[in-house]
Every structure is written in C-alpha cells, then in structure tokens.
C-alpha cells in the first residue's frame, strides 16, 4: 500500500512522515494555503532519505514549468491536476513518475487511461478540502490503472476506504493536520495513526487469486 502525506510545508513535517513510515510526501505548487516555494521544497528534499518518493503537486500548470520545478526542487514525481493527455505525456517523458489526478465521477476519470500513465490519483472535486465523496465512483476509472484514493481521508476512515475500494495507494492532507495549527501543519499522532491504520487494513485484504496454471497439471 502506497501511502502519501500531502501538503508538506516544513522539514519537521517531512521527517515526521518519513519516521511514521509514509512512502511519499507531496509538495503543493498549485495555489493553496499549503503552497510551498520550489526553493524551500528543495531544501527539505535534500534532507530526506532517497527511498522516499517526493511528489510535486501542480494544477493546470504548463508542462515545461512542471518539469523545470521538479528538476529545481530535486523531486522524483509530479502529480498533475488538470491538463491535457499531451501535457501529461510531455511531463511523463521527462519525470520518473507521473501521477494523473482526476475528480471522482468526472468524464476525465472515466478517460484517465488516455493520459498514458500507470498511476491515477482519484480525488474529490476540491482537492485539499478534506471533503469525502461516494467511493463507489472510483469504479468508473478504467481497469488496469493503479488508483491512489484521496479526498477526505483521515485516521478514522482510511481502513474502511481501503476495505471498500481496494486502492493501490492512499493520500491525505487535511485529515492529518493539527487542529488550530498553521496551514498544512501536521499532527504527529494523526500521521502515525493514518499510516498504521492504512497498513493494517492493507494487510487484512485477501491476497489476489493467482490464475490456475493449466500447463502444470500434475493430475494428467
């Protein structure tokens, strides 16, 4: 289970996410209360272990600028909200990992495979708002794509979400923030519980059924 803690605004919060066993951290370059400057993200990224997947989050951004910021900040991945399939492919040819973000239930979600990338982030209509939605809408994403479920997840509902949707990964911003904190500031207890609950739920899922190998039939 891929677990991403998004909207990182400080080195302390990035190191907290790493210490709590997250796989990825997200830096928001799109307009947001959690927006971070590329130079600040770069200084944080330098202090993270190389195995952590550092993701830049963009919305309707020119693909050339996405690539430039990813390189400037030393990131490993770009999460693209908005943009055409051609823009996604431009970035995918230049950045190691591209995550295409779509709104659950939208025409874009149903056509997510047109972007030619493997990983699709399925969010609510207002990313970063902490609002959940009908998880059944995720079924409209074309089969074969790795779904990262996002939008209104928190330590209390992430296990249920994983049981019901069986995503490849989960993503959270608002649900692990400190009540009354500065924008984006994470709550260590919420981050710990979110990651632990996600990992425990994933471990409870039944293993996928292996197709029967008819070429190795010892009964014949």
Ligand X SMILES: O=C(O)c1ccccc1NCC(=O)[C@H](O)[C@H](O)COP(=O)(O)O
- Enumerate the active-site residues: 6, 123
CB count, 10 Å around CB of 161?
23
Please tell me what DSSP assigns to residue 35: B
Residue with Cβ nearer ligand X (28 or 98): 28
| Integer Cα distance of 2 and 212 in angstroms | 28
* Structure tokens, 26: 């997200």
> Could you tell me the smallest distance in angstroms from the CB atom of residue 114 to ligand X?
21
Q: Which of 109, 110, 115 is nearest to 150 (CA)?
A: 109
The answer to whether 166 and 131 are in contact (CB under 8 A) is: no
> Could you tell me the smallest distance in angstroms from the CB atom of residue 21 to ligand X?
17
> Could you tell me the smallest distance in angstroms from the CB atom of residue 141 to ligand X?
16
Residue with Cβ nearer ligand X (117 or 153): 153
Residue with Cβ nearer ligand X (59 or 199): 59
Measure CA 27 to chain center: 11
> Could you tell me the smallest distance in angstroms from the CB atom of residue 172 to ligand X?
4
Give the SS3 label for residue 131. Answer: coil
The sign of the dihedral angle between the CA atoms of 57, 15, 41, 37 is positive
> Could you tell me the smallest distance in angstroms from the CB atom of residue 96 to ligand X?
18
The answer to whether 163 and 203 are in contact (CB under 8 A) is: no
Residue with Cβ nearer ligand X (68 or 174): 174
Please tell me what DSSP assigns to residue 117: -
Give the footprint of ligand X on this chain (CB under 6 A): 6-7, 26, 28, 30, 32, 34, 57, 59, 81, 123, 127-130, 150-153, 171-175
Residue with Cβ nearer ligand X (119 or 214): 119
Q: What angle do CA 71, 76, 81 make, to 5 degrees?
A: 90
The answer to whether 124 and 132 are in contact (CB under 8 A) is: yes
């Amino acid at each position: 289970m891929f677990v991403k803690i998004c909207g990182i605004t400080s080195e302390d919060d990035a190191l907290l996410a790493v210490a709590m066993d997250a796989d990825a951290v997200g830096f928001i370059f799109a307009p947001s209360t959690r927006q971070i400057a590329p130079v600040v993200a770069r200084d944080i990224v330098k202090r993270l272990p190389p195995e952590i997947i550092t993701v830049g989050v963009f919305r309707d951004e020119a693909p050339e600028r996405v690539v430039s910021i990813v390189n400037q900040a030393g990131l490993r991945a770009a999460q693209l909200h908005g943009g055409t399939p051609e823009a996604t492919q431009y970035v995918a040819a230049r950045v190691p990992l591209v995550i295409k973000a779509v709104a659950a239930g939208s025409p874009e979600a149903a056509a997510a495979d047109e972007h030619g990338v493997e990983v699709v982030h399925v969010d609510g209509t207002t990313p970063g708002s902490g609002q959940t939605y009908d998880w059944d809408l995720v079924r409209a994403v074309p089969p074969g794509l790795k779904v990262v479920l996002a939008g209104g997840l928190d330590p209390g509902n992430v296990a249920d979400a994983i049981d019901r949707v069986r995503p490849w990964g989960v993503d959270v911003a608002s649900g692990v923030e400190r009540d009354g904190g500065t924008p984006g500031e994470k709550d260590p207890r919420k981050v710990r519980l979110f990651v632990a609950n996600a990992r425990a739920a994933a471990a409870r899922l039944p293993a996928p059924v292996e197709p029967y190998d008819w070429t190795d039939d010892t009964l014949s």
